[in-house]
Structure 1
Amino acid sequence: MSSFGTFYRVTTFGESHCKAVGVVVDGCPPGLALTEADVQPQLNRRRPGQSDLTTPRDEKDRVTIMSGTEMGFTLGTPIAMIVPNQDQRPHDYGDMDFYPRPSHADWTYIQKYGVKASSGGGRSSARETIEKYLRQAHGIEVVAFVSSIGPASIEPMSAYPSAEAEAEWLASWHSWWNMLKTVKRSDVDANDVRCPSAETAARMRDVIYRFKDAKDSIGGTVVCVIRNVPAGLGEPCFDKLEAKLAHAMLSIPATKGFEIGSGFAGTNIPGHVHNDKFVPKGDGLGTETNFSGGIQGGISNGEDIYFKVAFKPAATIGMPQETATYQGEPGTLAAKGRHDPSVLPRAVPIVEAMATLVVMDMLLAQLSRQAAAAAIPRDGVPPVLRGALARQSE
């Protein structure tokens, strides 16, 4: 389906080389300041042609708000936005009318629908990020960055070494959590790779150029941190917060994996180390470590939420590949056109956008629940203590 969300719902339309792509956003509260100037910066971060590390396609990605706002404020009605495709070159895809591109969606789409878009990736192309981030009401911050490209990585020590080397290993995780607390979008955008470490970004750039020169491609990972999320978001059992985040992230084209918190590295960490101990924080509780990634039991616990998304190498490459036509005849395909040697730098704002959609949807669900609960007359006893007091009186 082309819609995502329940309380805050986004429906996208358009293909990679059609006349325009667009989105309808339903469920945005009325009275929120919103103009094209709010949306355009994120489209600028995602658009092609930003550097020689990405496809040279010259799409301007200029957004126009068609409905749902008046005098610069939302009306509470559906918000429709459209972005024209200006740099279309369908002739670049002529040979692909006969060959399904290896590891691309051509074959599966034609099996699904019986027809495929004649150029580009059709609906499978990652050109659908058109929405404004929610910050004003709750101060929620979403920042994503490239954490690895090929072997170049900024991530902490993953494999748990031994009890003797535990201190150094744990220090690398604390350094990671501290970085997640402070990393800013300006740090990420300081270089064309979108990695907040200049040293690691330089190594990532070398990796991308190596594959670009070979007319090949390379994958990597994007890490996203969501800060200031209130505790209590998530709808167990089947709409747990991490489950909705995984759904959102794995709906992005080229994604092949999702980890939250310690992820797969947590499988070889002893429980007494991996357990996040509760400590007093502010007027409540927090955790001393954050291997859980800010979510426990499918519900946000108030700590920073962080997760990692794996992106495969771009399937469309200029290197000749042995493959077969749709009729099963062997042949060789060397893709024409303008393609990314690595999709990672341009994937960053897409990951941020999808994360924001999930948090907004879960936040509206929780606010609805809280409003319904607030209408019930109370006896002054906090619900969390009612059971304990009843047992004491028995």
Structure 2
Amino acid sequence: MNTFGEYLRLTTFGESHGKGIGGVLDGLPAGLNIDESFIATEMARRQGGRNHYSTQRKEPDKVEILSGVFEGKSTGTPLGFFIHNTSSKSSDYTALKDIFRPGHADFTYFYKYSIRDHRGGGRSSARESSARVAAGAIAKLLLKEFQITLRSGILSIGDVTGEDIDFNFATKSEIYALDKKVEEQQKEAITQARKAHNSIGGVAIVSALNVPIGLGEPLYYKLDSAIGSLMLGLNGVKAVEIGSGVECSKMRGSQHNDAIYKGGFETNHSGGILGGISNGDEILIKIHFKPTPSIFIPQNSLNIAKEECSCIIKGRHDPCIAIRGSVVCESMLALILADMLLLNSASKLENLKKIYAKNS
């Protein structure tokens, strides 16, 4: 399945070492200003090769819009776009043609389809996430019309966890660290993992502000269930927490319930979502990434003939996928909220009457 969303639907295509990665964003309202410079800025945040804390595969990731935009505005028709691959090195994967890399999708893809693109993982590569960031940038342009803003950053690298959450500092940090006090320790943890030809996991936080009350559909397209499903659909994500997350299992109801006053909620253990519907408070999500499976240490594996062998990986890989992954998670949340916002416009008869009254 290569499409997600109910009203605002994104379909992506392409492989890591193919001609490029692309997408079709369908359901976008007509008349939205499509700011291509903003899209380029968002793509640069995800881009590799910026420093030695990320992969050295550096590509311009210029988004070429193919359809759905006229004179700088969306037309209401499917918005197609394409991102050329310009720095693939398929030779790095020749020796792995018949070997399953531990921790990767090689094994499961082969047994599901009886064929796989061994060059960088093909479709299973995180390279595909560039399409999600491009589409997420467009979704952010829509959310901006309603003053909804998104932020993200890195809370933990390995066992080095920050206490303060400063999204402004994260925009200046090379690793998008949220806590200035532990940034150098987190950088050192990444550096040591790289020097050991290894990798390290991390935790990202994504936040959304000014989200109106009412986004989310009962019972089968709840806002929190959509967030959990789509975040877990990203490469390397192994757990998602909303609000107090796993800590709520240690609490009593009197501790976890968010008291309600005229000015709002006293606390935000719910993470801005009640009954699967946004409550107007900040939406706060933690996303846990596993260590990058591509490491430069010999590992035991099997080949397609079911023979035991040694797997030795080459190439250019992120020592910590959580860093660039945080940007992708922010883009995914933008797409989810934009979809829910458009769905919500049809949730009340009075909303529909206003639309038709305007057009009559």
1:215 to 197, 207, 211: 197
AA in 2 matched with 1:42: E
For 1:227, give the aligned amino acid: L
Residue type matched to 2:107 in 1?
Answer: W
- TM-score with structure 1 setting the length: 0.85
Aligned to 2:56: 56
Q: Distance between the aligned counterparts of 1:373 and 1:49, measured in 2? A: 47
Pairs aligned (count): 346
Is 1:83–2:83 an aligned residue pair? yes
In structure 2, C-alpha distance between the alignment counterparts of 1:70 and 1:363, rounded to whole Å: 24
1:316 and 2:294 matched: yes
1:228 equivalenced with 2:206 (yes/no):
no
User: Which string of whole-angstrom CA distances, capped at 9 and with x for unpartnered residues, describes residues 347-389 of structure 1?
Assistant: 121001110111111111111113456649xxxxxxxxxxxxx
Q: Which one has a bigger Cα radius of gyration?
A: 1
- Aligned residue for 2:357? none
Which amino acid in structure 2 is aligned with residue 62 of structure 1? K
* RMSD, aligned α-carbons: 1.5
- CA gap 1:280/1:87 in 2 versus in 1, 3 angstroms: same
SS at match of 1:192: coil
Distance 2:349 2:10 in 1: 24
Aligned equivalent of 1:383: none
Cα distance in 2 for residues equivalent to 1:216 and 1:371: 56
Q: Tell me if 1:305 matches 2:245.
A: no
Partner residue of 1:196 out of 178, 182, 204: 178
8 A contact 2:143–2:334 mirrored in 1: no
Aligned to 1:356: 334
Deviations 1:264-305 (A, max 9, x none): 111112221111000112xxxx21000010001111111001
User: What's the counterpart of residue 358 of structure 2?
Assistant: none
Q: Which residue of 2 is the match for residue 240 of structure 1?
A: 222
Question: Residues of 1 paired with 2:66 and 2:72: CA distance?
Answer: 12
Counterpart Cα distance in 2 of 1:342 and 1:92 = 20
Q: Is 1:153 aligned with 2:161?
A: yes
Q: What secondary structure, in the 3-state scheme, does the structure 1 residue paired with 2:21 have? A: strand
Distance 1:373 1:11 in 2: 28
Aligned equivalents of 1:42, 1:375: Cα separation in 2: 36
Alignment equivalent of 2:255, drawn from 246, 259, 273: 273
- Gaps of at least 5 residues in structure 2 are 355-360
* Aligned partner letter, 2:52: D
Candidates 125, 129, 145, aligned match of 1:137: 145
- Deviation string for 1:230-287 (max 9, x for gaps)? 0111111111110001111011111101111101111112221111000112xxxx21
Counterpart-to-counterpart distance in 1, 2:261 and 2:284: 20
CA contact (8 A) 2:296 2:312 kept: yes
TM-score (norm 2): 0.93
CA shift digits 1:28-55 (9 cap, x unpaired): 1111111421211111111111110111
Q: Deviations over 1:163-207 (max 9, x none)?
A: xxxxxxxxxxxxx6xx5xxx54x5322111111222222111111
Q: Percent identity?
A: 36
Structure 1: runs of 5 or more not aligned:
156-175, 377-394
